[in-house]
Amino acid sequence: MDIGFIGLGNMGFPMARRLIEAGHKLVVFDTRKDVVEKLVARGARAATSPKDVADQVETVMASLPSLQASLEVAAGANGVVEGKRAKRFVDLSTVGSAMAARIHGLLAERNIVQIDCPVSGGVGGAEKGTLAVMVSGPKAEFELLKPALDVIGKVFFIGEKPGAAQTMKLANNFLSATAIVATSEAVVMGVKAGLDPAVMIDVINAGSGMNTASRDKFPRSVLPRTFDFGFATGLMVKDVRLALEEMKQLGLSMEVADAVGRLWETVISAEGAESDFTAAIKPIEKKAGVVVGGKGGLAGK
């Protein structure tokens, strides 16, 4: 396929690279010239704006960091909505169902189909093509896109309702957000009592407490204290806020979600939006007076 790709960040770049390697012809745009040039060197064509991308191809994909970025790229001035050729806009970003529905309506005025397509699996999944790819939109459009989406991960059709895939993504990321802070609290408890955190993680991963944080994040980024898993705290907080907002819109009372939301607000306040989300353990450690991991294995007060 001829595909446009807008947004070449930590997730977008490896997804675009995989599409090129699979034989798709890409037209790419990002505000940073260096990442565009890297894909041009691999065979992509550079565009000057989202509109320029949409002038050249029928299928435009985007991987963007915020709701406002998705809205502006899709329907803003010089956006995809003004393109001459675009027929479908595939949003790989996490924007929530309300924003997805809004973009859907704006693009429909120009006969451009909005395809919700958020992904999960982190930078590692994007690099290896093992992401969970959640899709909502017209079934015929899904069938058309599936061969390309198969390149970036395992594809799931969620439904035809605009925003349905966004709801699925928020449910998934709420669980991911819960896993990292809950595991942090559990391990901090053990370290405060004198347990070795590395042994704790081994036991948890061999038992019923195993989760994505204990399996992946702690061994790679928390215990070594590198905090470099590749997903920003600001993005995780955005997703948690969106999940809470959607829960409230559905009339739900979610006690665990509310507690998780409060914890993540503490994390972003203490560590900043640009920190890696595995740094969520730091304010929990600080309150307990312990440090988990590092060269000494564990440290007390």
Q: Are 179 and 122 in contact (CB under 8 A)?
A: no
- Distance, CA of 64 to CA of 70 (rounded, Å): 6
In 129-271, which ranges are continuous DSSP H helix?
A: 139-149, 164-192, 197-206, 212, 233-249, 255-271
Rounded Cα distance, 264 and 241, in Å? 9
Burial letters for 142-175: b for 16+ Cβ neighbours within 10 Å, e otherwise? bebbeebbebbbebebbbeebbbbbbbbbebbbe
Regarding beta strands 291-292 and 298-299, do their DSSP bridges make them parallel or antiparallel, or are they unpaired? Answer: antiparallel
- Is residue 146 annotated as a catalytic residue, yes or no? no
d(CA 232, CA 217): 13
Question: 76 — phi, psi (to 5°)?
Answer: -85, -175
Distance of alpha carbon 44 from alpha carbon 26, whole angstroms: 5
- Residue among 38, 154, 169, 192 flagged as catalytic: 169
CA distance 89 to 236: 24
Active site residues: 169
